[in-house]
Amino acid sequence: MAETLDSTPCGALIIGGSAGSLDVLLEIFPALRKDIGFPIILVVHRKASNESLLTDLLKSRTILAVGEAEEKEFLSPGKVFIAPADYHMLIEEDQSISLDYSEKINYSRPSIDVTFQSAAEVFRGKLVCILLSGSNADGVEGLKSVNNFGGRVVIQNPNTAIMPYMPQQAVLNVDPHVILDSHDMADYINKLND
């Protein structure tokens, strides 16, 4: 599919991933511009025991502010908000964060679906969601909501994913705006700023 950049300004970017997504994140974040004009939300399946590892790793690889998302914290441009291990992360109407300990979805907490769906209702056409490598179908239902609310759906090319199942399910079940190889994602994100 040919890449098309929508002229609608980006209000928020959410990146969801599971097994195999860390390599892609470590490729994306060092290349991001420091003047990103929207919040970046990261929902990655990980063990609660390794809670701060992802945050510390990304802090060392990007010039953007990075932190674990906190209850009632407001989204702000140019900051990376990481969904805490073992909590679903929802975006409220006032663009604040709500953390939830309800049952797992697709065997996952945080669930990518939950964050995609709640943000789609808030940001509508100004939301961009990227789904990366993973070994279950989390994110697919959320991407359907993003499409329904007029947001943009970006899926990692399953051929470049370490675990292709998650992006493959998304390609089969959702109409993406663009399918990107991992090495093209940072450039795509930087251009959302223009």
Half-sphere exposure of 134 (CA within 13 A, CB side): 28
| Residues pairing with 157 in the sheet | none
| Residue 18 is a catalytic residue | yes
**Extended beta strands in 30-177, E state:** 40-44, 65-68, 79-82, 88-91, 97-100, 127-131, 152-156
> Any idea what the Cα angle at residue 26 is, between residues 76 and 85, rounded to 5°?
60
Q: Which of 21, 45, 108, 182 is catalytic?
A: 45
C-alpha torsion angle, residues 176, 159, 137, 131 (rounded to 10): -50
CA nearest neighbour of 160 among 141, 185, 139: 185
Q: Which of 88, 113, 133, 138 is catalytic?
A: 138
* CA dist., res. 125 & res. 34, Å (int): 24
The set of catalytic residues is: 18, 45, 138
